[in-house]
Amino acid sequence: MKLFAVALLSAFAIAAQAAPSAIAVTATQLPTGITFKGNFKQALRWTDAEGDNLVVVSTHSDDNSEYGYNDDLYAVRYTLAGGKAQLRWSLHDYVHDCGVDHQATFFRGAALQVTDLDGNGTAEVWMAYRLMCRGDISSDTMKVIAYQGAQKYAMRGETRDAGGQGGSYVFDTAFLEAPRPLREFGRKLWAAHVADAPDGE
């Protein structure tokens, strides 16, 4: 267990060294032209081969009284040039019409990370999150999503349940064909959060 913890810390230390200089941006500091849905969670701004970049993640929940609860999470990435913001990609995932325990939430500490693990000058943007709709202690849907430029990479699977079962994942085709450092970082990010308790527990 100690060796695993050391390996995990080493992987994130390497990622930190390979990260572009990303700075946190508050909701009141967002430049003109940046729009997003839901409630602001986090934003990062950095410069790479594609220019001046900004990504925002947000969430929204509401009670659809006829069918249950709706939970949505969002991410948008813009490039900024000449006083204008251009949308480069957007992400939307959700749990809808759920009548039991529910949430769509980014894992604490993993809503946003920016790296350049393959050293090609174009940053990777990482997000890890949970989708939950259940009335028992079973596993939830878990995803690790990365973008490099317009290319999306996805790991999809399940969290570990309260009894320690589950936790498996699969890489999509793009991830399988990605440089190995990206898959290695994805595995470490998954391992860091697969056993996290849902928010509020």
Quick one: tokens of 47?
């410069």
Has residue 40 got a pLDDT over 60? yes
Q: Please, are residues 114 and 46 in contact by the beta-carbon 8 Å criterion?
A: yes
Whole-number pLDDT of residue 58: 97
Contacts of 152 (CB under 8 A, 6+ apart): 89, 145, 146, 174
Q: Which band of pLDDT confidence, cut at 50, 70 and 90, is reported for residue 119?
A: very high
Provide the residue type at 140 as one letter.
D
Angle separating helix axes 180-193 and 2-18, nearest 10 degrees: 130
- State the average pLDDT over residues 21-32: 96
Report d(CA 181, CA 20) in Å as an integer.
Answer: 16
In this structure, what are the phi and psi dihedrals at residue 98, rounded to the nearest 5 degrees? -105, 125
Q: Which band of pLDDT confidence, cut at 50, 70 and 90, is reported for residue 66?
A: confident
Whole-number pLDDT of residue 65: 64
Has residue 17 got a pLDDT over 70? no
pTM of the predicted structure, to 2 decimals? 0.88
